[in-house]
A and B are shown apart, each in its own frame.
Chain A
């Protein structure tokens, strides 16, 4: 056994031969003889052979024993230490000097068949005097991470860690600091670069919670429109980044954006601050988040609607909040407007009216705000009407194509107005609502839970508020029914639903004509393109629709709840003498201001229109548009033939009418 030990330590070893059938190494007798000679012993051939064999056996035994130590140390690699332990337990001298963890290179000698372990000489003096003292080993420590959540986690074979709980690397931290500094800093160019990177960087998933946290800081910078803007841009970049999975952070982002839309920001005290643009932008952003990521959080749509509704129905809130609610609803699509804004309108109108009709100087600021709200509502309801008409047309088309199922109508509807219906959610209206309502209404069945008001009824009601200002916008739009050939309707004439939808179609096509009576301030040389229609037509159409709605309301008791809520508003309109008929004097032709009277007609109602007076002076972006250009812009407003899917769609330009 001593020999075995020295075999290892002397390094003069050892020609290892491998005999095929035995499958383990053997020490040849020559080596044994060499070893013996080196220690001054002469060995005979037989003794050497016996010794060689015994040495082999002992080596194997030691190796086998040492493998047990390896197994219990839970390693795959047999170490010198394991062998030493085995030797120690069999009362044999251990081998010293080979405890290094690194692999020892085993080299052949060129001259002979000799192999040895490379062992460089170390200059101890140099080592002792060296100045670069090697660092000690890092402390042994335990780190925990969630590897798999609920047995799922990621299914990648390499088992990476979910990002949410990953600790930040140095680089990510640096990136985070740079980005936030750039975005919130002064340099607009830097900000642009940062935002662009945020939009396209695929490796920032781990930072998402931190960014979301930064964004939630909107509440602390409500005095600084600039910062708010920057934060909103940050939201936009995050939302647009295709590599980010926002998950439940959507909720947090939405609440930050909603804050910008709805809250009476500290910055809005100063009328010079253009917080309106901020709200518009935030509303756009909201709709974008909603359309792209709304499916991540269930019930989000309903929640947003609820909070907007709450703001809208709260008269104590300042007008800028109301404005936010309206643009928010508008941004969420015409259905949201129909469901929230439209039923609230009568109640809200009274308050707004009061503001608008107060001409005291102290009220000037509030009144200006009131006009903003008025304009926003106007734009919203216009689109509502337009889209509703369009959807009716399309639905009629779908059913007119001769396909029996309502689904085809729904499909047609969805295809033709992408992005207009909210993603299917339990609380939102099913996309086939309109088509089905047409048919169900025709069959005389009660409409299901939320009953949309028929277009003519809606129009009448809205007209009662806005008068011709509503009408004029319609007139300028492209002919909506243009895409609707009248042909398909005809085969269905015998049935009831086409009969009821036919007037609708007629309405939609005629309504623009209805509203053409408009007085524009004298300075406007452009005359309305449409000829004013005889009032008789205006009288007939609502009349028809009224008749129809009365017939339908007799069949539907559900719709009454809604209409009853709007009725008090209407009844107050009687006392609401404030609705000005043309009793205002013609406005002075001051350069920055222009005014026009909208001669609204209300069948059976006293208010017949109202005159509008708007001052443009304070808002810089608008002053760039001369009134004339503005007038030419009018037709474009509300155009729906443009792709709606693009979220920065041009028809959505709230500041234009005011």
Chain B
């Protein structure tokens, strides 16, 4: 009885299981993400390079709810053969969420250093601001800190007369 030779390395054979990385959110949930998708995050890429990717990687700054969506984003963007237009449409749907969630995405993308997600979400916020008056911006984002009346007058005057 001869033993069959060990299977060839995972990279060569597509039917072999892909390498999975485990992530743990701040509230204790565990998620699995393909290595290819994880590489979208520079933070995770560094950890994988330094071989710390054995046990679940703790991410104390990201909750389970958000981490699930981030994993979904990275997986989608690592998928081969997706054309630009449908990816753009998918992205647009992905960020079609309430304000607070967009900010959570921004913070997570910043922490995990995912440039595609960071750019997408920051542009979404810029879009929300576009065309609004200062008052509308304050109301929309519930901004509390404001100017003193003299300061506001000064800034208003500059806006109108001083430069463009």
Interaction A to B:
no
Q: Which residues of B contact A (CB under 8 A)?
A: none
Binding site for B on A (CB under 8 A): none
